[in-house]
Amino acid sequence: DAGVTQSPTHLIKTRGQQVTLRCSPKSGHDTVSWYQQALGQGPQFIFQYYEEEERQRGNFPDRFSGHQFPNYSSELNVNALLLGDSALYLCATGGGGGIQYFGAGTRLSVL
H or E stretch including 41? none
The C-alpha angle 40, 102, 88, rounded to 5 degrees, equals 35
Q: Are 25 and 68 in contact (CB under 8 A)?
A: no
Nearest to 94 by CA among 56, 62, 63, 59: 56
Residue 99 Cβ, how far from another protein at the closest point, in Å?
6
| Position 31 contacts another protein (CB under 8 A) | yes
**Minimum CB–partner distance for residue 80 and another protein (Å):** 25
Q: How far is the CB of 33 from another protein (least distance, A)?
A: 7
Q: Is 83 helix (H, G, I), strand (E, B) or coil?
A: helix
**Angle at 64 (CA atoms; ends 94, 51), nearest 5 degrees:** 35
Site string for another protein, 42-81 (x = CB under 8 A): xxxx--x-x-----x-x-----------------------
Task: Specify the residue, 48 or 74, whose C-beta has the smaller distance to another protein.
Answer: 48
List of residues contacting another protein (CB under 8 A): 4, 6, 31, 33, 35, 40-45, 48, 50, 56, 58, 88, 90, 92, 94-95, 97-105, 107
